[in-house]
Chain A
């Protein structure tokens, strides 16, 4: 019953948006990390994870997202999230993750805020 995650990447001038669709568990968390690290190699320092298509995550998947946050902090970059379900957003607050990664209600507001922070690769 393995549910696979679909990822699409939208490279903007100064930041990259990763759109997810499906369950974020250990395997799909690793896939997000793989894509994020490739974007970091391309010199993107601001990444936005758009979780519109993700209705459920588990703590192992989130722990891999924390690894990405750690990596972004190391390079003075920024990982942000948008379009979270209320439960995923509540979970991020329970964990304290929201202190280290901005959460936006939708992609336009995220892009408006983050574009000013991001430097073009």
Chain B
């Protein structure tokens, strides 16, 4: 993929509090609409962003109690890709140690949660996770389609 210019950029800082993921989802929707993405793809972006925020809210234990999001519209003459970065300054985790959930396993397990990463990967074109002791950064992209 050739290097693309950033045509539009919005940053958003949200407290790690219930339902803040919906504010992130609204911003994602606005940015995707700005680049004339199709309605179903916009909905998929919104849901993936909601999941990324919930991961931060539920698991980051970030001392600053914040999650930072950057929404970038990338392209040349026309907008082509929406790139969303979700960062927290929490305790981090090892993405390689996360076992992919299956319904078969979850139906037997006491803990039914743990679907966020699988949903994000399924709804977005690309998802990259970088995580360490200084926090977690999830970078997701979706083409305009």
Contact = CB atoms under 8 A, between A and B. Distances in A.
Interface of A: 1-3, 23, 25, 55-60, 62-64, 66-67, 69-70, 73, 85-87, 90-91, 94-97, 99-100
Contacts, number: 81
Contact of A91 (B47, B54, B104): B47
Interface stretch (B5-13, B18-26, B61-69, B75-83): B18-26
Interface residues of B, number: 31
Contact of A62 (B18, B43, B107, B115): B115
Given A56-B50, A59-B119, A86-B43, 20 more contacts: A23-B19, A25-B18, A56-B22, A58-B21, A58-B50, A58-B51, A59-B51, A59-B116, A60-B58, A60-B113, A63-B115, A66-B103, A87-B44, A87-B46, A91-B47, A95-B101, A95-B103, A96-B102, A96-B104, A100-B103
A59 B107 CA distance: 15
Given A1-B19, A59-B119, A99 B54 contact: no
